[in-house]
Amino acid sequence: MATLYPSLEDMKGHQVLQVSVCSSALWGRSDPLGAHVPSAPPALYPNLAELEDYMGLALSSEEIQKNLFPESSTALTPIGPQPGQLVAPLSGNSAGLRRAEIKPGVREIHLCKDERGKTGLQLKNVDQGIFVQLVKSNSPAALVGLRFGDQILQIDGKNCAGWSSDKAQRALKKASPEKIVMVVRDRPFQRTVTVHKDSTGHVGVVVKKGKIVSLAKDSSAARNGLLTHHYICEVNGQNVIGMKDKQLMEVLAGAGNVITLTIIPAVIYEHMVKRLSPGQMKSSMDHSIPDL
């Protein structure tokens, strides 16, 4: 299984690190046989000097080491990444990467109602499934970590497949105020893309009313596969739906050099927010930064 990276920049950074380690190992050999090992053709290895300034990023071994997770001095260091392991020499210390993670599988959550008998949750039918359309700020739904686009598979043991939006809302209304058991799948229509700011502080994305309308040529956004006709749902795990473009740009500006964007196709997004007013999304939607 191939090694996985959050971004193209992480892949290049890991290549720099591998070349550095291999070079140190070859030059540091003390056994006599080392002198007789023929050198590999230069074309098989990337030029370390070139990669250290790859795409306007600082990819020197020292910069990469700063972003690695701390490691115990007594720990055994594996020769290389395990198959399927996510390798992130540049993004490894990014809290946003972890906050934005869309986990596979399903999970069970326990939800209650507030003093007004509300969960702070609004549900929507999409393709015979029930999805989270709105999570209100400071509501019970926000406190248990539900997010826009999560799929609700069960409510109190009842399968939600085929339900209408109204039936799902009625099920919430009739549920016990003390405990509602839900089975949830994380945001199946969404995906995350990790990008890196260039020397000017930009990732190369142009947004209009929350939708990606253009990508700058040779930018991190373009290199890492961001697409137009997609809406940005989250920046480093923080919901930005309903924000004005100026506010969204401010969130991006303050998000650090490594940014994980959660995006959704426009056709799905526009169906999901149908009948939600811009005012609802701006004033009611939970825009808090999730805990790790």
pLDDT score, position 76: 41
pLDDT score, position 209: 94
Separation of alpha carbons 45 and 93, rounded Å? 27
Separation of alpha carbons 48 and 68, rounded Å? 19
Largest pairwise CA distance in the chain: 80
- Report pTM: 0.79
The string of pLDDT tens digits covering residues 22-39 is 766 665 655 544 444 444
Separation of alpha carbons 268 and 19, rounded Å? 43
3-class secondary structure, 86:
strand
Assess whether pLDDT exceeds 50 at residue 161: yes
Nearest residue to 155 (alpha-carbon basis) of 181, 123, 188: 181
Band (pLDDT 50/70/90 cuts) for residue 56 is low
Band (pLDDT 50/70/90 cuts) for residue 230 is very high
Percentage of the residues of the chain whose pLDDT score is greater than 90: 63
pLDDT score, position 51: 52
> Is the CB of residue 23 less than 8 Å from the CB of residue 51?
no
